[in-house]
Amino acid sequence: MARYEIFVTYKKGIFDPPGATAARALTSLGYSEVEDVKIGKYITLDVADGPDEAARVREMCDKLLANPVIEDYRIVEAQGSVSAG
């Protein structure tokens, strides 16, 4: 079994309402150094070993976990952090 970590973020140029709101809130809390905030999603996926494993994880992202119209995703295979069951 392998664990994949998936980071989903808005594509460049797509307005991020939660990020913009957090940036305003941080500024009003006195953190005037904050220039930009982007908020995305973090997903972990445990999958059984298989021949097309990585390709199938990408397919899962394209199909369901991210919307390619507005979002990018980054897949990181976690090393040695998964125990079966």
Partner 1 sequence: MRFGVVRFPGSNCEQDVVIACRYLGFDVDYIWHGDTDLAGFDAVVLPGGFSYGDYIRTGAVARFSPVMGEVVRFAERGGPVLGICNGFQILTEAHMLPGAMLRNRGLKFICETVPLRVEESACQWTGVPAGTVLRIPINHNEGNYTCDPETLAAMEAAGQVVLRYCEPDGTRAPGGSAPNGAFDDIAGICNERGNVFGLMPHPERVVDPEANGTDGQTFFTRIVERLAGV
Binding site for partner 1 (CB under 8 A): 13-18, 20-21, 64-65, 67, 69-70
Give min distance, CB of 63 to partner 1, in A. Answer: 8
Rank residues 2 and 43 by Cβ distance to partner 1 and give the closer one.
43
Give min distance, CB of 39 to partner 1, in A. Answer: 10
- CB 85: neighbour CB atoms within 10 A? 3
Rank residues 64 and 84 by Cβ distance to partner 1 and give the closer one.
64
Rank residues 20 and 82 by Cβ distance to partner 1 and give the closer one.
20
Task: Note whether 47 and 2 are within 8 A (CB).
Answer: yes
Which residue from 6, 11, 73, 18 is spatially nearest to 46, judged by alpha carbons? 6
Give min distance, CB of 1 to partner 1, in A. Answer: 23
Neighbouring residues of 78: CB distance < 8 A, sequence distance ≥ 6 = 2, 3, 4, 5, 44
